[in-house]
Amino acid sequence: MQDQPRRPRTLKDARTEAEAAFKKVTAKVAEAPPKPAALPGVKELVSLRIDQDVLDHFREGGPGWQERINAALRKAAGK
């Protein structure tokens, strides 16, 4: 039996095929899990670069300079 000649593709046919193929492979991006609530009093260890003169200012007050930096940052953050 002789094969039937293919009808010429139209732009609409190509678009329909492309949309169908695209729908098959695309999926919604999973949402990021919610951030856990910050626990009060828990501190996180970070590496932070601070200008030497600013660091000297806080260290001049003696022990507790890290807490004073934290308090200054908290005040600057409006908390």
Rounded to the nearest angstrom, the gap between the alpha carbon of residue 67 and the centroid of all alpha carbons in its chain is 29
What tens digit of pLDDT does each residue of 27-38 get?
Answer: 677 788 888 877
pLDDT tens digits for range 63-79: 999 999 999 999 999 98
> What whole-number distance in Å separates Cα of residue 52 and Cα of residue 48?
12
Spatial distance between the Cα atoms of 66 and 35, rounded to a whole number of angstroms: 26
pTM for the whole structure: 0.49
